[in-house]
Structure 1
């Protein structure tokens, strides 16, 4: 592993690098979720397209099932196998398999390693600062622009909470 924090040189030019040069990060949440990953695009100086090399340990799920309203995601399996949960359906994916999750496709997706060996894959996606992400299992809606999450069950009608009985007076100067 290198001590470099980026593949961008002193002149601001992004140079080639091996994937193992990018810092290895990991996350876990409870017994169900967890993975390790290298943010290749960030390390390489990119900020419009996200590319991560991820490894999913046996018995772990990548993240809660979700879909994006404005971002497109892609997954390409490099080594091993896993189960793609896509809405109510499941698909076994192995090395060489690919899937696209188009923006606005209202079907949640997540990856689960059903095997006894790690699975490595690339995740590629946009980095839209205005994206809205929906989590069907919990009903959570994330509005990336505000950095906040909302309960999808708490929807409001357009005029709800607005006093429509009279016009409001203009402020006095």
Structure 2
């Protein structure tokens, strides 16, 4: 059965952060409503002067933006590009897929955000040196990275 979403039947919720420049409107649970098993997707609207999520990339998810209306600037490792109605932007897994949006216009920027869902994802934020384990939303500083065997010495003592 087809499930059809549009501005007439989707409710948007404003997502704010403690940093006022990060704010967007997002649809709620569209993939769940549609019964999707492998895709996560949301309709999003970015107000003028606002940034999307902090600059990031996914280690275990691909992401695709389909621009529905408006214009915004897209930041990637290659630089800044303007996106407009009808554009499709694909972000592969890993550092080369890093991205962030900024609405530098006076009109809302609306887009469909589609992501693969493999269960657990690790999102890395190059600007702030953090990682986020999804879906649990566990955020850590990457500077706290330790050697794999740290604290594993004297293993035989633990078997006594």
Deviation of 1:146 after TM superposition, in Å, equals 5.2
1:24 matches 2:12:
yes
Partner of 1:77: 67
CA RMSD of aligned residues (A): 2.1
1:116/1:147 CA distance change after superposition, 3 Å: closer
* Greater fraction helix: 2
For these two proteins, the number of residue pairs brought into alignment is 157
Q: Distance in 2 between matches of 1:50 and 1:150?
A: 24
**Structure number with larger C-alpha Rg:** 1
- 1:144 is displaced (CA, Å) by 2.0
- Any unmatched runs of 5+ in structure 2? none
Aligned to 2:52: 62
Residue 150 (1) aligns with residue 137 (2): no
Whole-Å separation in 1 of the counterparts to 2:143 and 2:107: 38
Alignment partner, residue 43 of structure 1? 33
- CA–CA distance in 2 between the matches of 1:169 and 1:86? 47
Q: Secondary structure at the match of 2:156?
A: coil
Q: Which runs of 5+ in 1 are unaligned?
A: 1-13
Q: Specify whether residues 21 and 141 from structure 1 end up closer, same or farther in structure 2 by C-alpha distance, changes over 3 A only.
A: same
Q: How does 1:1-173 map to 2 (within 5 A)?
A: 16-19=3-6, 20-29=8-17, 30-39=19-28, 40-87=30-77, 89-144=79-134, 147-164=137-154, 167-168=156-157, 170-171=159-160
**C-alpha distance in structure 2 between counterparts of 1:108 and 1:18, whole Å:** 28
